[in-house]
Amino acid sequence: MTEDRTNLQWARLAAAIKAAREARGLRQIDLAELAGISEGSIQNLEDPDRRPSRMPQSLAKVEPHLGWSAGSGVAILKGGEPTLLATNPRDGRRDSQGRIRGQLPLRIVDELESDDPLLDSAVIELPGVDGARMTVVVRGNPNATPEQIQEALLAWRKAERRLQRLSVEEGSDTPNPRAANGS
């Protein structure tokens, strides 16, 4: 038995997606990149005149980047409201998964919460300012071959050495990376 799609509110969903995207300060291309889909897919989702014959796969991919829990798009189509991802207002972390929210720009949060493979990470002391540090998270392409991952790691190692040299050149005696790395 197929679902009755005649009463789905596509224009309402399009408006909700656009409003949520704009509220997060994202352009269509930004949301597309975060969700791993094409900009055209975002344009289709935001088109109030579009009536797809089936549920777009891209809908589930954009939901978390709009701050919605899974299934929120379908709820809007059926006349309901999106369920917002829960956050703990005290510390800005998502309650259910302990991820950072509210304290960092959205692009950074989305990158930190990405499912792309973590290649490495490091915390590097900044020169001349006691206690100031830079945090670097290196993510890889989820479809990368082992050779491509190796190439990305080598590129990161070169960049990491340059960052550490800058720290030495700027006045600290020795590079002091407090690395929390995965390799």
Count: domains in the chain: 2
| Arithmetic mean of pLDDT, 106-127 | 79
Give the CATH number, domain containing residue 72: 1.10.260.40
**pLDDT for 144 beyond 80:** yes
**Residue finishing a domain among 33, 60, 83:** 83
- Round to whole Å and give the CA distance between 46 and 79: 17
pTM: 0.49
**pLDDT for 97 beyond 60:** no
The answer as to whether 27 is a domain residue is yes
β-strand partners of 87 = 94
Residue 152: pLDDT band by 50, 70, 90 thresholds?
A: confident
Q: Under a CB-based contact definition with an 8 Å cutoff, are residues 17 and 45 in contact?
A: yes
The answer as to whether 99 is a domain residue is no
Nearest to 21, CA basis, from 72, 67, 61: 67
**Residue finishing a domain among 41, 59, 83:** 83
Quickly tell me which residue has 């945090």 as its tokens. Answer: 135
pLDDT tens digits, 166-181? 766 655 444 444 444 4
User: Do 119 and 170 have their domain in common?
Assistant: yes
| Domain span at 62 | 10-83
**Residue finishing a domain among 60, 83, 106:** 83
- Round to whole Å and give the CA distance between 156 and 145: 17
The answer as to whether 109 is a domain residue is no
The answer as to whether 100 is a domain residue is no
Which SS3 state, helix, strand or coil, does residue 79 take? coil
The answer as to whether 144 is a domain residue is yes
The answer as to whether 93 is a domain residue is no
Of the two residues 46 and 174, the one the predictor is more confident about is 46
User: Do 33 and 73 have their domain in common?
Assistant: yes
Could you tell me the two tokens for 87? 């956050």
The answer as to whether 146 is a domain residue is yes
Which pLDDT score, from 0 to 100, does residue 1 have?
Answer: 44
Least confident of 54-63, 97-106, 134-143: 97-106
Least confident of 22-26, 59-63, 85-89, 95-99: 95-99
**pLDDT for 69 beyond 70:** yes
| Arithmetic mean of pLDDT, 125-140 | 80
The answer as to whether 172 is a domain residue is yes
User: Do 70 and 125 have their domain in common?
Assistant: no
